[in-house]
Structure 1
Amino acid sequence: MAGSRGVVIAALVANGAIAVLKFLGYLLTQSPSMLSETYHSISDTGNQVFLLVGIRYSGKEASRAHPFGYGKAQFFYSFLVSVLLFGIAGWESLKHGYDAILHGSHAAAGLVSFAGYQFPAWYVNVVVLVAAIGFETYAFKKAAVELRTQIREYEWSGIAEAFKKTSDVTTLTAFTEDAIALAGAAIALVGVVLTQVTGNYIYDAVSAAFIGVLLMGFAVALAWENKRLLLGESLPKDAEDRLRDVVRNHPGVVHVDNFRTVHVGPEKVLVNADISFESDLDTDDLDADITQIEEKLKAEDGRVRFVYIEPEI
């Protein structure tokens, strides 16, 4: 959880600073792609606020109404991020880019004075976007380190498998945001430079629209990944099979009748099992066996927090 919070805070600081710089660049040049990138960075900044709220809310103690805690709050707020903020920013960027393609861009070609020197206004956009790439690279690396830690811990094959199996949606969302932010800044930079080199506004306008499409596409992907956890997804089959084997191999266990797992929060899993024990076990031995099985399950996979066993003799 501490790792996720650090990733989000790093992204919040980076995106907040970048949003201000991009908006200043847009005001000076009226570049369509800079406005799209402004929407993008404002969206990302709002995203981090939502994710921090989710992290804080999920840390509340369990209650009668929520006996397994509030861990799913992170799934909910990450879903809001993907649908509301990414979707809105993507739509606005696409709409603005489309309008620029149809009616032409009004990018300023004037001069800007700074420290006694004058230079073309579009230079501001280049400097801002290069700075944005630097900031986003820092945030992206921090998120990537956290995600790779999970990949090593759970022996996943890579980022694609982690995207499908992780329950740490906060890190997943931050990682995806930062990757998109890097791509968006690079696309905007190419569009701005090509427009100035060729004198054709279409490159800047198309860049703005493409950034919108990129945002909306990843919004759908992130919403889909959050949906599986909101609906109560189990552990991946390989992880669940290992836990089932722990129960099956415990002395005195005859058969595992039912075995179910479900995520109740990021890195928090509930296990429920119906187990047939040997018929000659007395009550005290049975209680001891159940306790030992619970301890073994938690030792096998650190995500297991709650274990409920129904014994059958």
Structure 2
Amino acid sequence: MSAIIYALSANAGIAASKAVAAAYTGSSAMLAEAVHSAADCANQLLLLLGIRQARRQPTPDHPLGFGKATYFWSFMVAIMLFSLGGAFSIYEGVHKLSHPEPLANPWVAIIVLGVGVLLEAWSLRGCIHEIREKAGDMPLWRYFRDSRESELIVVMGEDIAALAGLTLALGAILLSLATGNPAFDAWGSIAVGALLVVVAIGVGLEVKALLIGQSAEPAAHAAMEQWLRQRPEVETLYNLISFQMGSYLFVAVKARMAEQQSASGLIDQINAVQDALKASFPDVRWVFFEPDDKG
């Protein structure tokens, strides 16, 4: 949640300053960045909406809750990055290549982009700090692949794209200023758009896997397996299925229990294991237990 607030705070101010600078200078790269930041603000509001919806209590129609709402809105964010951000920026750049116009007061754009780099770096730092609290020393690329927290995946992708996009736009305007050729500004807009399309596709593919259904993070799944095998009530663990439901987990266990003679004793053992599993792994909300005497 805090990473989203960091990003929203930075992007709101950046979007307004970029829009003013784009209107003042006529820079297509700056306009592309203004649209990018405005889309990012909308994206972060959608992520906050998804988090709020995911906290709703289960209903008869949705007995496992609404945790996967965050995945839906994260996927919508990827689509918005692709369409509003990427496609528009590419279109604007191509249009300016056909009708080149010299930049007016390019130093205004340079100052705004420079400040934007600092603000986006602050936002990315906040996101990485939150990730480090959850992932420790895990490399960021590995976290991006293994994490089941779609909102952090999206914010990290957005922040990296924003910082890279600002750098591209700044470089394009500096080249236009140095050479007097406005085509560099147009190519900067196209480069920003292409970057956003690549990031949107990457984020979309990651969130698609969560929408379809993924297990718990590999480390968490392995830890639960080891925990179950060490329980005295569990004689043999045949199978463990974990299913990520937003920030919560659905777990199904098939095992041979130590108690084989008494039905009430068997039930007591299952209940004890289920309660202890939820206590040891707080993300586990639902546990379905199938006792069996064969795999």
Structure 2 counterpart of 1:231, from 190, 201, 212: 212
**1:162-201 deviation per Cα after TM superposition (whole angstroms, max 9, x unaligned):** 1111111112211211111111111111111111111112
Matches within 5 A, 1:102-181: 103-109=98-104, 121-152=105-136, 157-181=138-162
Q: Deviations over 1:123-179 (max 9, x none)?
A: 110111111112211211111111111112xxx631111111111111221121111
Of 263, 271, 278, 1:291 maps to: 271
Which letter maps to 1:13? S
What is residue 263 of structure 1 aligned with on the other side? 244
Give the Cα–Cα distance (whole angstroms) in 2 for the partners of residues 35 and 73 of structure 1: 32
1:253 aligns with 2:234: yes
Question: Would you say the 8 A contact 1:31–1:105 is kept in 2?
Answer: no
Contact 1:147/1:172 (8 A) holds in 2: no
Percentage of matched positions with identical amino acids: 30
Distance change >3 Å, CA 205–CA 300, structure 1 → 2: same
Assess, with a 3 A threshold, how the Cα gap between structure 1 residues 18 and 56 changes in structure 2: closer, same or farther: same
Structure 2 residue 284 is matched with structure 1 residue 304: yes
The number of equivalent residue pairs is 293
Structure 2 residue aligned with 1:47: 43
Could you tell me how far apart the structure 1 residues matched to 2:178 and 2:210 are? 48
Tell me, which stretches of 5 or more residues in structure 2 are unaligned?
Answer: none
RMSD: 1.7
Q: Give 3-state SS (helix, strand or coil) of 2:260's partner.
A: coil
1:35 aligns with 2:46: no
Aligned partner letter, 1:212: G
* Residues 161-170 or 230-239, more deviating: 230-239
Which amino acid in structure 2 is aligned with residue 285 of structure 1?
G
SS in 2 for 1:307: strand
Is the contact made by 2:172 and 2:185 (CA closer than 8 Å) also made in structure 1? yes
**8 Å contact from structure 1 (residues 173, 222) kept in 2:** yes
Taking a change above 3 Å as real, the CA distance of residues 202 and 230 of structure 1, as seen in their structure-2 partners, is: same
Aligned counterparts of 2:258 and 2:14: Cα–Cα separation in 1? 65
What SS does structure 2 have at the residue aligned with 1:65?
coil
Shift of 1:279: 5.7
Please report the TM-score for the alignment, with normalisation by the length of structure 1: 0.88
Partner of 2:3: 7
SS at match of 2:115: helix
What residue ranges of structure 1 are gaps of 5+ in the alignment? 110-120
> Match for residue 257 of structure 2?
277
Match of 1:112 in 2: none
Contact in 2 for aligned 1:87/1:215 (Cα 8 Å): no
Asked if the contact 2:58/2:64 (under 8 Å) is kept, the reply is yes
Aligned to 1:18: 14
Runs of 4+ residues deviating >4 angstroms: none
TM-score by length of 2: 0.93
> Structure 1 residues 258 and 23 mapped into 2: Cα distance closer, same or farther (>3 Å)?
same
The Cα of 1:298 is off from its aligned counterpart by 3.0
Aligned counterpart, 1:221: 202
